[in-house]
């Protein structure tokens, strides 16, 4: 590698480092506010709540446990966006407001759509065994006063 190439690589690395430092000044994603819990659903069983806390509460409640990387941009932006979006569609801590997406929660868990695979890569505690996934889906359906669709029940057998 000649001297000219080294200079360019140094400038590129220095520029990327400078950009990384500059994005830390963007204020989005570091508030880590957990609003108060105003009401939870009437859980069908303590086990359902425990499984939901394990797999769902970081994005779908006001009891988020913020990881250390949630303070470093751009990861902080992604985490904040996911939590904001999760709380908007289903929030187990604000059960007094309408929860229009709640009716789909049990099926999404059963079908493996929730928790998302990308989330489970960094949060091993959210990985559910097939039996736990089934228990959570059934518990959510009972908690929300719903029945699993026939095709979902057929997949369980």
Question: What would the two tokens of residue 124 be?
Answer: 């091993």
Residue 151 has pLDDT above 80, yes or no: no
The model's pTM: 0.78
**What average pLDDT does this structure show over 108-114?**
93
Before 3, cis peptide (omega within 30)? Answer: no
Tokens of 113: 């759509």
Q: Can you give the residue ranges of every domain in the chain?
A: 29-156
Q: Over the stretch 47-105, which tens digit does the pLDDT of each residue have? A: 999 999 999 999 999 999 998 888 888 888 889 999 999 999 999 999 999 887 888 99
> By percentage, how much of the chain surpasses pLDDT 90?
55
Mean pLDDT over 38-50 rounds to 95
């Amino acid at each position: 590698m000649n001297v000219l190439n080294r200079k360019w690589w140094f400038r590129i690395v220095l520029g990327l480092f400078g950009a990384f430092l500059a994005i830390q000044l963007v204020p989005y994603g570091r508030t880590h506010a957990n609003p108060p819990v105003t009401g939870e659903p009437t859980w069908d069983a303590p086990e359902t709540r425990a499984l939901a806390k394990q797999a769902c509460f970081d994005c779908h409640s006001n009891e988020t446990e913020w990881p250390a990387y949630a303070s470093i941009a751009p990861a902080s932006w992604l985490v904040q966006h996911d939590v904001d979006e999760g709380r908007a569609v289903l929030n187990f801590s604000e059960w007094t407001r309408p929860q229009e997406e709640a009716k789909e929660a049990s099926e999404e868990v059963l079908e493996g759509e929730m928790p998302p695979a990308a989330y489970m890569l960094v949060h091993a505690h959210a990985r559910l065994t097939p039996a736990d996934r089934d228990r959570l889906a059934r518990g959510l359906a009972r908690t929300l006063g719903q029945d699993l669709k026939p095709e979902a029940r057929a997949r369980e057998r």
